Structure 1
């Protein structure tokens, strides 16, 4: 059997094509003393893109899980299943998505290092309200939030309005 083995190697922005016989022990390759910066950057961006994609997949799962809880009763200290408080719902949803969060609103806000703005919120982000960050919900996208409101009420999806914007006190992005 005869033929050629083609190998490409990126070198300083140019491709090097080496050809050799099929039966050759190892294909010929161009070598450099150090890897070019563009190669390192490409590798880093690929890893970052993979991390972002994984976070988005988890966020989507957390929001879908929270949506399945709509109609469940609020219970102070409730961590589900069946009844929830606001941080129990957020923590339970993200736990199902593979991310463990602390128990309370303040602990969650402090533990999750990626902080986001009101305008920068994306699906799955956790939104915090009031001065002591005593209430939270899961941003469902398109201006909606899923939360466990208070005693006597049930988990629901609501449109974020001026009231919530005025009382907004931060947001975090778990899973990064």
Structure 2
């Protein structure tokens, strides 16, 4: 089973993300759009995991003190950079130190179970979509322009109060995310 640990998003945050995604969609971009109902803030991607590890993983996550801090939607951008957009994202604001601490606590909890942290530094964001692999140079330029010229989402604030263990399953209709437990 393919697993990850993430913060789930409340309805007002999903609504703000849907609104900015709708504004970008009007440009008819070469983008595979993320489903709003599946959006989450990933803390650690665990990858393919044997089912027998689930009890140990749940126990390790249960030892992490429950988070309680606010996050705010802030900004609109692309990875790896504005001229080569591969991932379209909404950023986060407020004091991100508690989020960084939670992410580190997750890494510390999963490391003894054999889960290595990603080589890349943690860059918290919410993915709106990904540039299609077959996108032409002109289409990539259109994506960059649309992101640059689109207003960011309303600065919605929410309480991050629980990290959850998710399973992701690929279906013909896209990814399906199932919550396997709170931390």
TM range (shorter): under 0.3
- Which structure has the bigger radius of gyration? 1
Higher strand residue share = 2
Higher relative contact order (CA 8 A, sep 6+): 2
TM-score by length of 1: 0.23
TM-score by length of 2: 0.22
